[in-house]
Chain A
């Protein structure tokens, strides 16, 4: 079983749509969770951290369910510029801070 699993997609949605991505992780001791965005296999860029209480940043909402070891990202009112690969990332419980990446979910927003 992979440490972090995502549906690779692709998700093809029209502009203005709401889309949700899911992710599961295997290590129950994991402490920190993130969503990164990667455009055309350029470097990953941090989109947002994910907290147990859930958090929102504009059109983006992230949720964490520790009991189910499940992380989600909701994008409302999709824009063409949201087209990218979204990476679910978990920081290992060790003190080295290394990140474990899912394989990514590809989103294509169409006009």
Chain B
């Protein structure tokens, strides 16, 4: 049973380019969370999605950032016109139901470096 998968593991972009980060949840999980970890900081919640729905995007910057979780395929976190401050590790987590006590399982993360 494969765990949460994220790709790419490392992504280098120049300022102004777009970054697309992908997350495939564990089999049977229909809830996805995205977190960002800036250098020397803890993880910060960005967005929570169910299939085809954004449930909570309270942690996501209002501009340049968007997320989706289509009916088929992985969840995508998209950052337009990247800036140096977007350099961070982006972790995706999945859970079966999204509420209650169940554990969130984390993927290996995507390290984004903006030059």
Which A residues lie at the B interface, using CB under 8 A?
Answer: 4, 32, 41-46, 49, 87, 94-104
Set B59, B103, B106: member contacting A98, Cβ < 8 A:
B59
Question: When A and B form their complex, what is the total count of cross-chain residue pairs whose Cβ atoms lie within 8 Å?
Answer: 56
Q: Would you give the shortest CB distance from A91 to chain B, in whole angstroms? A: 8
Of the candidate stretches B64-72, B73-81, B93-101, the one touching chain A is B93-101
Which partner residue on chain B sits nearest A98 by CB separation? B45
Q: Does A96 contact B108, Cβ atoms closer than 8 Å?
A: no
Q: Would you give the shortest CB distance from B92 to chain A, in whole angstroms? A: 9
Which residues of chain B are near A41, meaning CB under 8 Å? 37, 89, 109
A96 vs B98: C-alpha distance in the bound complex, in angstroms?
6
Which residues of chain A are near B99, meaning CB under 8 Å? 95-97
Which B residues lie at the A interface, using CB under 8 A?
Answer: 31, 33, 35, 37, 40-45, 48, 55-56, 59, 89, 91, 93, 95, 98-101, 103-104, 106-109
Which residues of chain B are near A42, meaning CB under 8 Å? 108-109
A41 vs B95: C-alpha distance in the bound complex, in angstroms?
21
Q: Would you give the shortest CB distance from A109 to chain B, in whole angstroms? A: 21
Further pairs besides A97-B99, A99-B35: 7, Cβ < 8 Å: A41-B37, A46-B103, A96-B48, A96-B55, A96-B56, A97-B95, A99-B93
Which partner residue on chain A sits nearest B41 by CB separation? A103
The 5 closest A-B pairs by CB, nearest first: A43-B106, A103-B42, A101-B42, A101-B43, A96-B56
Residue from A4, A44, A49, A102 having most chain B Cβ neighbours under 10 A: A44
Which partner residue on chain B sits nearest A96 by CB separation? B56
Residue from A49, A96, A104 having most chain B Cβ neighbours under 10 A: A96
Q: Would you give the shortest CB distance from A23 to chain B, in whole angstroms? A: 11
A104 vs B95: C-alpha distance in the bound complex, in angstroms?
23
Q: Does B56 contact A94, Cβ atoms closer than 8 Å?
A: yes
Which partner residue on chain A sits nearest B93 by CB separation? A99
Which residues of chain B are near A96, meaning CB under 8 Å? 48, 55-56, 98-99
Q: Does A101 contact B106, Cβ atoms closer than 8 Å?
A: no
Q: Does B56 contact A43, Cβ atoms closer than 8 Å?
A: no
Q: Would you give the shortest CB distance from B75 to chain A, in whole angstroms? A: 15
Q: Would you give the shortest CB distance from B8 to chain A, in whole angstroms? A: 15
